[in-house]
Structure formats: C-alpha cells, structure tokens
Amino acid sequence: MYTIVTGAAGFIGSNLVKGLNERGVTRIIAVDNLTRAEKFRNLVDCEIVDFIDKQDFIARVQAGHFDGDIDAILHEGACSDTMEQDGRYMMENNFRYSQILLDWCLDQDVQFLYASSAATYGGGRVFREEREYEGPLNVYGYSKFLFDQIVRQRLPQASSQVAGFRYFNVYGPREQHKGRMASVAFHHFNQYRQDGKVKLFEGTHGYGHGEQQRDFVFVADVVKVNLWFLDHPEKSGIFNLGAGRAQTFNDVAVATVNACRALENKPALTLAELCAQGIVEYIPFPDALKGKYQAFTQGDLARLREAGYDTAMATVEDGIAHYVEWLNKHV
C-alpha cells in the first residue's frame, strides 16, 4: 500500500514527505507539476517510490489505476497565489482537482487529508469553522471556501476520514521557490542579508506601522497536526490550523533580524532600536492589496483541541529562530 502526497514538491507537501520519512514511511507517491523545475530541490533529501505529474495523476485516478493500492492521500496541491486573477485556472486547479480526489477517496474508503485556508474567512474578525464567519476576499479564498462546502455536504455520509485544515500564515523550511508568496520571515531574512534592513507596510486598517496582526504558524506544527490526524482516521471535519495567537509583523521583523544577528554574534535589539538604526523600514501599503488584505487573523483552535490534538504551537520567536538556522545552512 502507498501514501500519496499531492503538491509534494511544494512548501507544505515536501515538509509532509520529509515528516513521513522521519517516521519510516517511504512508500510515497509524490504528485506535482514541475513546470517550475526548481521545486525539485525540496525533494532531494526525501525518499519516495514514484513521482507523477499532476495531469497524468488525475487521468490515472479516473481510470482506476490506484484502486485498492492507497492508504491515504495528503492533498496539498493547489495554486496558493492570492493575487492570481485567472479565476478559471484557480477553480480548475484548486476546486475541481480536489473534488475528483474527494470522490475517489470516499469511493475507495481512503483517508483524505487536504489543505484548506484561512483565506476562506476574508476580512472578518472571527475565525471559527462556521459558515456565518466565512467571506473570502479573492478567488483563491473562494476556491478553498467552495470545496469546504462540498466537504460539509459529504461528511454526514462519509465512511472514511475526510479532514481539511485551514492553514493560517505558514512559514518555515522549503518555501524558497514561492517567490512573492513566500512568508514574511523568508523575505525579511533575505532583505536583511542583502541590505542590512527589512521592510514592513505602514499602518492600515486602523493599525500602526507594522502592527497588523496575523496568526503565524511554523510548518513543523502543520506537519505534526497532519500526521496526528493520519494516526487517527476516526477524526473528520474542517479544522483551523494556526498557532492560535495573533502576532504583529513587527514581531516577525524583530525575531528574524535578531536571529540573524545572533548568527553574527551581535546582541539582540528592541523594535525601537531597530527603527532608530534604520534596520526596520516602513513602506506605503500597495494599491494592489487594497480591499483584498486580512489585517488581522487569529485561528480559533477549539475544534482542533476538541478533536484531541493538544500539542502546543510554536511562537513566532521560537519558530523563526529555528527557521533562520535552517535558512543559514540552505539558502
């Protein structure tokens, strides 16, 4: 029997493959689209038994080639660019693809764990897995929202596990291929290394400079939650997956710069000191993000905790310290 990971060469997918390897699972079929070939680097230190292109994979699923051979699908494959304007592409890649796999897993009694997104909540202030709080601001969020609605319709009759995870702002190793969609921590690391300073948005939405708040979650915690559900096939539903706490972009900047300074044997500095020395710089809020930006997110983890997952999530300070050490060795 095999485990399938879609989006396996991507950020979260490759971390899941590595996490499976670390528990001795190597019979993994990796599925992805390597049109952006540099993503292959995320799998170089991973063990898999096959790599299948996404389009070929869908055709083979529909032709019954995997019937009876699969234990679980961890479905991370999606277009995660929140600025993507091609709605047809987004819906085909995120919604229709997911629906095909959901139908197949339900028919085959295969565990189906999939990536949803906190983008389903839009600009609201309550982040609870309930329909009344959902209102995506872009077509990416809508594609995830619509699939979640399909899952809700199917769950009452499902005889096998279906678990969706609404990822908040994930950061950590193996995201370097994402370009502009990589995490703030990744960009801050590179800005500091190149220019000796980092850039944040000026105040918006009633927040001061750099005081916009997000739920930043370390990718290692994302992997732990996915693998916990894999070990508990009786647990189904849609769950927020964040740190459960909102921290500011200023917090991210301070944590990243100070982790870099620690590598240089320099003392940590406060935000005020970083601003005074010009190491933290604030830039105008971009027009392209107006009306499409979540200035505050904080995942309500009550449903995740009720399901039985009780491991503490890393703070920005702890997670970024580990991440910067990794980046220093790999980038």
Please give the positions annotated as active site. 140, 178
Q: What values do phi and psi take at 187, rounded to 5?
A: -65, -40
DSSP 244-277: SS-EEHHHHHHHHHHHHHHHTT-----HHHHHHT
Q: How many CB atoms lie within 10 A of CB 215?
A: 27
Which tokens is 169 given? 């702002």
Distance in angstroms (rounded) separating the CA atoms of residues 171 and 12:
9
Q: Are 240 and 305 in contact (CB under 8 A)?
A: no
- The strand pairing partners of 218, in sequence order, are 171
What single DSSP character describes residue 38?
G
Instruction: Match 């085959």 to its residue by tokens.
Output: 108
Length of the chain measured in residues = 331
Which tokens is 319 given? 């997670």
CA distances to 124, 143, 295 from 290, in Å: 15, 20, 11
DSSP 98-141: HHHHHHHHHHHT-EEEEEEEGGGGTT-S---SSGGG---SSHHH
DSSP 156-171: GG-SS-EEEEEE-EEE
Instruction: Match 């959902």 to its residue by tokens.
Output: 134
Q: Are 217 and 242 in contact (CB under 8 A)?
A: yes
Instruction: Sort 9 into a burial class: Cβ within 10 Å, 0-12 / 13-18 / 19+.
Output: buried
